[in-house]
A and B are shown apart, each in its own frame.
Chain A
């Protein structure tokens, strides 16, 4: 039966162009990631060495396992770093193109701002702003639809978590003003 399944591909007018220039190559990102992991391994390794890495009468000390794990992590990162560095071919693929990066930022930046807003305005106000703003600005959906959807979704969340089940969520000045 061919109609049991229909693939949904929602059309995307702002799809990233295929010929967009590369911002950074996979090779570069792999090198950076390896360096970050190596640095992390060194920091954690040092901290665990300070905690104690010996094997005393009652088995290993608290730093024992994490220390050797840091060594393994460092070793594997170093290996990755060296092989990527000396690899001649195959690693110059594009990690992200400019158009893709723009689109990722389009989600990431609002998400980060949402986290920040949650801290100050509480999660419900921040959710409303995020959903309405995102639908309007990124999705180009009609303003009234955006506001309505955001309001309904936030209200459902509020009623479910705050009113019905007393789950404590971060709240801000608006909720306090309303006495919740």
Chain B
């Protein structure tokens, strides 16, 4: 129970008015950047990082991580009310969240999203608290083959799920992977697909693509339809909250599954985005009624939000324990740690106990305070809807442009954003799904690098993906998931022969 004592010490460090008020400021700023499409978590944290340079490390990390929690919470608001994912990991939340809002259940959807965010983070924080030393050694087991197997699993859990025509999913994923490959190939050090352009040299940043695909294209689509933002104001009453909470135990399997996926993907740097999609897809796959997903099912909000937040939180663990950031935002926090003179690594837990346990304690407090803040301030943030669209639209365009530019300080990225806006508009209208495209953009080059490093390490033998229990299990699981529709059909057929009633799994 050493961890418990240390945690209590951590709480004691935090219990000052200064730190609590920094926490609230951080959360509100975070929700704000999470709500604005195109700002989002990594950008917001990056932009606000310099604010903390003059603070002591504990206050600084508390404020920054609260911005991070706030952004995680805030991303859900626009996804549900506006169908605009403020964050890439909120994309899966729109699938059922927005339909719910359309059916007049915005308050339920938001409560569900916030509550499941809270649950996801809490599970991950508890995991960090009690498993930190063990997990850092588990993370060390991940070499190139293991990383590739995880990416493969993410891709496979995706293929064959969408309602769209298969060739369109293939187009979307292949295009995303190709775009991810533009620029310098790390493994060989050669340039490819740059056509001699300086701007393509650095590759296409996925955040720029996401801002264009979702932010700009949404404005074009919204404008085209009958008016403006067909949004939903939500006033969350205590009754709605209690009603959703009463229902929670019914979904414990979904919540648990998503938490596990999230923690796991966060620790192995698969990222919150992959986790949210995987959580959603698995909830749908194992549901008794998969058809109702995408039409406003509360489980479709629970699943991705829990997974995304569990993953977003768990991503901090490899950052602290190993110095490997599990997500884009974690990478920025890592930069912050070094500014404050703290070197992330296995020794951080030994040498900077105050800091580490202060941070972990702030995760608990930040989430509780955050939940209260979002539940009470939704009407404020949702009131953006009351502002005429003609005023909101150009402001969103400006925020998107600032966001796209700030990532790499490149004017070219603003043009790219515009281009991706048009691509997103056309793709949405002709039914090419955008989610596989986003996923491929994020994970594409990492998956390729991992594969090629694994090949170099094994001397070109594919057997390396079954060379030990860990990698073998993941790879086999990935391939099983890929062919799941076939396997499922075979099972059903067999079951029908033995019994007249179909077996549900």
Contacts and interface: CB of A to CB of B under 8 A. Distances in A.
Q: A–B direct touch, CB within 8 Å, in complex? A: yes
B3 interface: no
Q: Interface majority SS on A: helix, strand, loop or mixed?
A: helix
Contacts of B257: none
A48 B397 contact: no
B393 to A, nearest CB: 6
Contacts of A83: 167
A21 interface: no
Interface residues of A, number: 80
Interface stretch (B125-133, B177-185, B357-365): B177-185
Nearest to B448: A65
Given A5-B104, A29-B429, A107-B393, A161 B192 contact: no
Q: Most B CB atoms within 10 A — which of A3, A9, A65?
A: A65
Contacts of B171: 37, 73, 76-77, 80
Contacts of A119: 411, 414
Contacts of B331: none
B455 A60 contact: yes
Nearest to A132: B394
A174 interface: no
Interface in B393-446: 393-395, 397-398, 401-402, 405-406, 409, 411, 414-415, 418, 421-422, 425-426, 429-430, 432
B397 A1 contact: no
B459 interface: yes
Contacts of A33: 426, 430, 432
Interface in B371-398: 385-386, 388-391, 393-395, 397-398
Contact of B232 (A8, A12, A61, A169): A8
Contacts of A76: 167-168, 170-171, 174
A164 B190 CA distance: 40
Contact of A26 (B105, B236, B430): B430
Interface string B94-130: 0000000000111100000000000000000000000
Given A60-B452, A114-B397, A7 B174 contact: no
Contacts of B187: 62
Given A12-B228, A114-B401, A115-B415, A5 B388 contact: no
A63 B452 CA distance: 12
Contact of B391 (A58, A115, A135, A164): A135
Contact of A5 (B192, B229, B235): B235
Nearest to B103: A5
A132 B346 CA distance: 53
Given A16-B226, A47-B195, A157-B402, A167 B389 contact: no
Interface of B: 47-48, 50-51, 104-107, 165, 167-168, 170-171, 174-175, 177-178, 181, 185, 187-188, 190, 192-193, 195, 216, 219-220, 223-224, 226-237, 239-240, 385-386, 388-391, 393-395, 397-398, 401-402, 405-406, 409, 411, 414-415, 418, 421-422, 425-426, 429-430, 432, 448, 451-452, 454-456, 459-460
Closest 7 A-B residue pairs measured CB to CB?
Answer: A139-B390, A59-B455, A12-B227, A73-B174, A134-B394, A62-B185, A131-B394
